Amino acid sequence: MASRLANRLTQARRQRFVGRRAELELFRAALGRDVPDFAVLHLVGPGGMGKTTLLREYAQIAEEAGRGLDTPAIYQVIKDAEPLTEPATHKIPSNLRRRYDRLARFPQGYLVMGDALASFNPVYGQGMSVAALESAALDDCLAQGDDRLAERFFKQAGKIIDIPWSTAVGNDLRFPEVAGPRNGMVRFINWYISKLHHAAQHDPVVSVAFLKVVNLVESPPSVIKPGIMWRVLRGNLWAKAGNEVAGRETAVAPELV
Ligand SMILES: Cc1cc2nc3c(=O)[nH]c(=O)nc-3n(C[C@H](O)[C@H](O)[C@H](O)COP(=O)(O)OP(=O)(O)OC[C@H]3O[C@@H](n4cnc5c(N)ncnc54)[C@H](O)[C@@H]3O)c2cc1C
Measured from the CB, is residue 170 less than 6 Å from ligand 1?
no
Measured from the CB, is residue 222 less than 6 Å from ligand 1?
no
What SS3 class is residue 97?
strand
How high is the pLDDT of residue 70? Answer: 61
For residue 221, CA distances in Å to 47, 91, 172, 192 come to 28, 32, 18, 12
Using only the alpha carbons of the chain, give its radius of gyration: 23
How high is the pLDDT of residue 2? Answer: 52
How high is the pLDDT of residue 255? Answer: 42
Measured from the CB, is residue 50 less than 6 Å from ligand 1?
no
How high is the pLDDT of residue 223? Answer: 94
**Ligand 1 centroid from CA 189, angstroms:** 30
**Ligand 1 centroid from CA 115, angstroms:** 7
How high is the pLDDT of residue 111? Answer: 95
How high is the pLDDT of residue 129? Answer: 94
The ligand 1 atom nearest the CA atom of 91: 53
pTM for the full model?
Answer: 0.68
- Write out residues in the chain with pLDDT < 70, as ranges: 1-3, 6, 10-11, 13-14, 68-72, 242-257
How high is the pLDDT of residue 249? Answer: 39
Calculate the CA 241 to chain-centre distance: 28
Query: Cα(159)–Cα(156) distance, rounded to whole angstroms?
Result: 5
Confirm if 117 and 97 have CB atoms less than 8 A apart: yes
Measured from the CB, is residue 92 less than 6 Å from ligand 1?
yes
φ and ψ at 21, to 5 degrees? Answer: -65, -40
Measured from the CB, is residue 131 less than 6 Å from ligand 1?
yes
**Ligand 1 centroid from CA 99, angstroms:** 19
Measured from the CB, is residue 5 less than 6 Å from ligand 1?
no
Angle between helices 184-200 and 226-240 (to 10 degrees): 70
**Ligand 1 centroid from CA 131, angstroms:** 10
